[in-house]
Structure 1
Amino acid sequence: MAHPKIGIALGAGGAKGVAHIPMLEALDELGITPHRIAGCSIGAVMGALYASGLSAQEIKDKIARLAITRSDTVRGVFSDRKINKWLGMIDPDFRRSGLIKSESIMAELCEDRSCETFEELAIPLTVVATDFWERRTVVLDSGPLKPAIQASMALPGLFTPVELDGRVLIDGGTVNPVPYDVLTNSCDVVIAIDINSGSAAERGSVPGYFDTVFGSVQIMQQAIVEQELRARPPDIYINPQLSDFRTLHYHKVDEIYRQADAAKLELKHRLTERLAI
């Protein structure tokens, strides 16, 4: 009997997106290679790295070289030039519709890999973006890879929109935060990893500007996912119970990994049952 074709969709979620790495570790530990990966926003970034042939541990090592954690000393941050890398990604020109250069992030993440086209990837990848003027999902799975990833992660106000094939594209999470639907026609078992629908935010004082903007985006994304789950649930749905990490809390990656461990074990259990491994 042929092995079932496994598809995994990695959802949007800002810094919480590093929680996708433990889910990919689960696949590595079970010896499972997905038939296809789908991704949105940070999920598109993680999906592209994994599809390029990197293991989950190699992706984690790459993130560690960029992330500034609580264990870093001030001397360590500056000696490793981590702070300079992040400062170099900031573009304070508000006329460009974004604060951070997605090109710089892609250059850092793909510095040691061939990430030129979808066709060169070891695992087929589909990413979703949003056509700003047409107000609809755009599915990208062929041609140049980096512009597609930049479009999928172009969160309004944070990253500059991407012009691609005559369209203005923004973050795919505005219409399809966990794009498992693009896997249903090509995969036998569809896994959806939703990192935004975990623990509720802690109550507190009135949030500041960025917390209000990004928090509102996450609320809208969660509503979209809930509607999709009612209409067409995936075969396996995993939503790591993560604290209310903010969109740019990349300095808390170690804590995010720890909180995602339970979901990693759940995914391994569900796959073991489903595939009789």
Structure 2
Amino acid sequence: YALPGVFEPVNCNGRVLVDGALVNPVPVSVCRAYEQPLVVAVNLHYDLFGRAAVIKHSAGELVIEKDAPRPGHVDPEHQSHQTRLGITGVMVEAFNIIQDRISRARLAGDPPDMSLQPKLSHIGLTEFHRADEAINLGYQATMAQIGELTRLQSVLA
């Protein structure tokens, strides 16, 4: 995971490599290029942001607002969630917002045969100690769609 500004890029065969998610967070197009009969995308950013995610600067503090409600609309389940961050946190959150927007655009233009969207927004990007929890949530999301996956595999294979 070579996030620019947070982690040092990797040097490989004379090339400097950063995270591929900068341009293709859910690489359906790569699978299509290799002519795979069934492409299942796993979008790990699906529930991180609603339609409105804003980074703003207020009185010396940087704040991320996620799922900001529409003006005049109060919904307790979707109330604005604010997080105060340092500069590294803002960089990571900005990267997440960019990945989300790029993912949405690329998936709209080149949709997979099926998309799995485990709900992982409550697990932080650097909470590696919660890997078992994330894997279990991914497994549950997959098992919830296993019938459709099996059907697609038999149709497209």
With normalisation by structure 2, the TM-score equals 0.68
* Corresponding letter in the other structure for 2:5: G
Who is 1:213 aligned against? 91
Does residue 272 (structure 1) correspond to residue 153 (structure 2)? The answer is no
- Residue 265 of structure 1 and its aligned partner are, at CA, apart by 1.4
Who is 2:45 aligned against? 196
Contact 1:184 1:190 in 2 (8 A): yes
With normalisation by structure 1, the TM-score equals 0.41
Of stretches 247-256 and 197-206 in structure 1, the one that deviates more from structure 2 is 197-206
Who is 2:26 aligned against? 178
- Residue 217 of structure 1 and its aligned partner are, at CA, apart by 0.4
Does residue 167 (structure 1) correspond to residue 15 (structure 2)? The answer is yes
- Residue 220 of structure 1 and its aligned partner are, at CA, apart by 0.2
Which has a greater percent of strand? 2
Question: Against the structure 1 CA distance between its residues 154 and 199, is the aligned structure 2 distance closer, same or farther, given a 3 Å change threshold?
Answer: closer
* Corresponding letter in the other structure for 1:215: E
- Residue 254 of structure 1 and its aligned partner are, at CA, apart by 3.2
Identical amino acids, percent of aligned pairs: 30
- Residue 223 of structure 1 and its aligned partner are, at CA, apart by 0.6
- Residue 205 of structure 1 and its aligned partner are, at CA, apart by 3.8
- Residue 240 of structure 1 and its aligned partner are, at CA, apart by 0.9
Rounded to whole Å, the distance in 2 between the matches of 1:162 and 1:262 is: 33
Does residue 259 (structure 1) correspond to residue 107 (structure 2)? The answer is no
Rounded to whole Å, the distance in 2 between the matches of 1:241 and 1:205 is: 19
* 1:179-203 Cα shifts (integer Å, max 9, x gaps): 1211114211111111112244571
Contact 2:28 2:111 in 1 (8 A): no
* Corresponding letter in the other structure for 1:193: V
Give RMSD over aligned pairs.
2.3
Secondary structure in 2 aligned to 1:206? strand
Question: Against the structure 1 CA distance between its residues 276 and 168, is the aligned structure 2 distance closer, same or farther, given a 3 Å change threshold?
Answer: closer
Rounded to whole Å, the distance in 1 between the matches of 2:48 and 2:14 is: 39
**Which of 203, 226, 234 is equivalent to 2:104?**
226
- Residue 267 of structure 1 and its aligned partner are, at CA, apart by 3.7
Alignment of 1:90-105 (within 5 A): none
* Corresponding letter in the other structure for 1:221: Q
- Residue 263 of structure 1 and its aligned partner are, at CA, apart by 1.0
Rounded to whole Å, the distance in 2 between the matches of 1:215 and 1:269 is: 35
- Residue 238 of structure 1 and its aligned partner are, at CA, apart by 1.1
Alignment of 1:240-259 (within 5 A): 240-259=118-137
- Residue 157 of structure 1 and its aligned partner are, at CA, apart by 2.7
Give ranges in structure 2 of 5+ residues lacking alignment.
50-65, 67-79
- Residue 276 of structure 1 and its aligned partner are, at CA, apart by 4.3
Contact 2:118 2:138 in 1 (8 A): yes
Give ranges in structure 1 of 5+ residues lacking alignment.
1-152
- Residue 270 of structure 1 and its aligned partner are, at CA, apart by 2.1
Rounded to whole Å, the distance in 2 between the matches of 1:212 and 1:274 is: 40
- Residue 230 of structure 1 and its aligned partner are, at CA, apart by 1.2
**Which of 98, 105, 117 is equivalent to 1:239?**
117
- Residue 158 of structure 1 and its aligned partner are, at CA, apart by 3.1
* 1:82-140 Cα shifts (integer Å, max 9, x gaps): xxxxxxxxxxxxxxxxxxxxxxxxxxxxxxxxxxxxxxxxxxxxxxxxxxxxxxxxxxx
* Corresponding letter in the other structure for 1:180: V
